[in-house]
Structure 1
Amino acid sequence: MLAAAALALALQSTPVDPASADAAAVMVPVNGVFAALSARDGQALLPLMDAEARINVVAEGPNGARRHASPTVADFTGSLTPGPERFEEIMPAPSVMIDGDIASVWGRYVFRVDGELSHCGVNHFGLIRRDGVWKIANLTWTQRMTGCEGIVP
């Protein structure tokens, strides 16, 4: 029983100071995803992703029904093509956690098209550090049209 409690305490992580150099390093590929979305440049995502990266999305429809999808990295990057609309994703208060060569970034976001709200949800980035470089190993997000108020002032 004592060993289980000690293990549970050892496995608990606390968020890293978002102003720290460690958090800034983890946020480089995360912010790179937002820049690639804004530029509508799927190819810009590729260097940010681990070779074995996974993507998952759970989209909630207006009737509350949820649709789960797991596009490949190639499908996701291929879907991000130039167009006339301006994309903008904002994740105002990400929580960053680091343990050695793994990290997690979690936070609410809003997604706008031409300045108008498209949807919101929660992003989760699972990252690994290889040879000193943080890469996205898992990108998961929820997507909904409700509950978006107050995420970004």
Structure 2
Amino acid sequence: MTQQNLTDEPPTHSHQLGMRLSSTRRGARLARQLAVQQFTEWTGLAHDSDPARAVALVTAELASNAITHGRLPGRDFRLELLLLPRAFRIEVTDTRPERCPGRPATEPASPDVPWGRGLLLVEAYAERWGWHGRDAFTKTVWAEVARPI
């Protein structure tokens, strides 16, 4: 439940999967489905377990932010999944490095407003999250969801 702007490499991992997806709602939906599928395959936990639901929610928010705030026409986003010793790490890389995520609002948005809760949800469901610039053309936002060991 901490946010960090880290430039160091992610921790050692035992499994990794990465892919490019279209910067569309369909691409974001596919990212969520793939993350849950991979999480359950690697951990043996059920799709309806609390950790799998947290992975679904966090992935959906990161992917949604990538296609909403980090999109350039004709450019995809990248989803990277890593199984760490104590967590499942979700990384989403987009093409707008100048649009860095800030601290989530301390109060949720008004119930009448359909946006403004994404990072608040990530903050609530992830053990840690943060972002870093990979190069002059991309940034990566990542979150780690705890997993039973």
TM-score in same-fold range (> 0.5): no
**The structure with more radius of gyration:** 1
Task: Give the TM-score taking structure 2 as reference length.
Answer: 0.30
Q: Considering fraction of residues, name the structure with more strand.
A: 1
TM-score (norm 1): 0.30
